[in-house]
A and B are shown apart, each in its own frame.
Chain A
Amino acid sequence: MSQIQSQPQLRRPAKSLPRRIENAVLSVLTLAAALVWIFPLYWTLVTSIRSDENVAGNTSLLPDEFRLQAYVDAILNTRLLTWYFNSVGTAVIVTVLVLFISVLCAYALSQIRFPGGGLLYGVVLASFMVPAQTLVVTQFILMKDLNLINTWAGIILPQLIAPVVIIVYKQFFDSVPKEMREAVVLDGGGEFTILFRVFLPLNWGITTALAIVTFIGVWNAFFWPFLVVTSENMMTIPVGITQVNDAFGVAYARLMAVAMLAALPVIIAYIIFQRRVTEAIMISSGVKG
């Protein structure tokens, strides 16, 4: 086999002046957009390290104080650690269950011929068109009838509906050449061998990406946990933040400190998995778009 490797271009051709101006303008615009995006985060941070007395009416853009009192208060005087525990627990469980259920569903839809398979996939696609909000009332009544209000199960179960994950996995499995499956069959492997020892390892990137997107989605979920949980002990962080407000009057510094702590795992996850997150968002929005 003669494989001709093309040399990477070592020197870029010099860019023309209009081209450079265009690039500069684009850079400035991108930077401006980034600033707009990051400002709330910055403002949250700045506010959270002020003292409560200093917050009201303070319009100074620069940090004029550095106090961690709000953080200490948040941790000591709110149920933040409990909410953290609830958030981590429910988010991990939802992520694991969503991936597991969806991967099995997608595999069956993609690889196994069975009566009603096409119809079932139609149902998955259709459920993808239904906005989650329209289901909320029914789901709430269901959870109430099942006595799951104020429980993890109540938070978790409705969030397991994840047609996007099924669709992404199905498209992935559809794209695997059928000989791959047949090779495993001839080697003596069954469906679970095909799925877990060959198909998924073919591209762990997809699973990682879907896990990140699902986890962030559940971590940030507010509406449903807010409805299904009334007891402070069962709240997740986004719901808990509303309690900081209620319990302390308007305590902006503390509120912002809780918000910072709430965002922390997502920020860390983003920094660690930066590339994967971008990929993940592209994969799942590719389906949506």
Chain B
Amino acid sequence: MQGIKFIIGIKSFLLRSGLEGVINEFKGAELLASTDSIDALIKLIGQERYHFLIIDTEILVELHGQNLGDKSKVILVQNNNSRASGLPACTSVVYINDSKTEIVEKIGLATKAVSSKVYKEDSSALSEREQDVVRQIALGGSNKEIAGTLFISVHTVMTHRKNITKKLGIKTVSGLTVYAILNKIINIGDV
């Protein structure tokens, strides 16, 4: 949860303090602001660089059509099964009578998806050379074979592998093979 920034916009004082408590317990999470006012919230959405906006249905209704910002950043707090129709779909929905564990898990899951997105934006995509290496790994080459095919040293192959794993979050050969096929670096028939 390192560096993930939240804004809370909830009318009910009790709900708002509850969620502030949950966010403050996440290690490394940052609560930029917490408010019950629509005007303050609209300002915050416009000005702050945040990752998640936690709001209740009432606020969502009032904000709807206005500057809700990026919908994929919204975590909605609502009464059970009371999904108001016509409202945009949100990344995550927390119900009022969810247990603490459920709430922590839901927010954790939502942020995992985003922190990988943040990570992906920060780190550049695989370089062409790295893609070559991924292709050879997926085809089953050993470090030595890959070095031979690409006319580079074994040491360089190992450095590429390390960087690839760091960028993708995938370590094993079978995992890299799945990645290579999904990203059309190789065809499924080649493996």
Q: Do A and B form a real pair?
A: no
